[in-house]
Amino acid sequence: MNDNLLFPQAMAHLRALMAATLEQWALAPLAVLPQGEAALADALCAEYLIDNDTHDLLHRLWRWEAAMQAGRATLAEEFQAHALLEELLELFQSLRTAPTLGKRHDAIVPRWLAGESIAELAESRGTDEQRILVLLHEVVRYYQLSNLEALRAFLLTIQEYPNDKE
């Protein structure tokens, strides 16, 4: 079987998964889904659903896809594109089936309550933790709550979140 025949279908599936992930987990309701691959990747990154490295990998994959379509891709680039596509499909499939909200709050909330700044906590964190920290920051800022009051509101949200299957 020729993998190059399956590559366009797999790329279309990845784009659909990305759009569905953004629609499902965006913090604010989307009036319009971003059009174009770059805008979609930017929106996913802005929502902390993917990290900067994943964002960059998506752009690399699209460059390789364009080179493959134009017949300019090397064999090594084609191999890398297939491997990267497989990895990204797996990532976005997991984001569609498992919520990113609340999965790792136990690791960061005690440090946040102890006074560690959100910027310091977010610096070396993964996507899930960064998303939680952004939510906590927004709750504190918007509602002008203390950290403890914001935490209570946040934990109530996690408990009531319909898709959180922890």
One domain for residues 116 and 69 = no
pLDDT in tens, 13-63: 999 988 888 887 776 567 777 888 888 888 887 776 777 778 888 999 999
One domain for residues 109 and 52 = no
Domain that holds residue 111: 105-160
One domain for residues 119 and 84 = no
One domain for residues 91 and 115 = no
Which of 97, 118, 146 corresponds to the end of one domain?
A: 97
Give the separation between CA 32 and CA 67, rounded to whole angstroms: 30
Give the separation between CA 112 and CA 115, rounded to whole angstroms: 5
Residue 64 DSSP SS3: helix
Mean pLDDT of 1-11: 70
In a domain, 20, yes or no: yes
pLDDT in tens, 99-141: 443 334 445 566 666 777 766 766 656 666 666 666 666 666 6
One domain for residues 11 and 92 = yes
One domain for residues 52 and 14 = yes
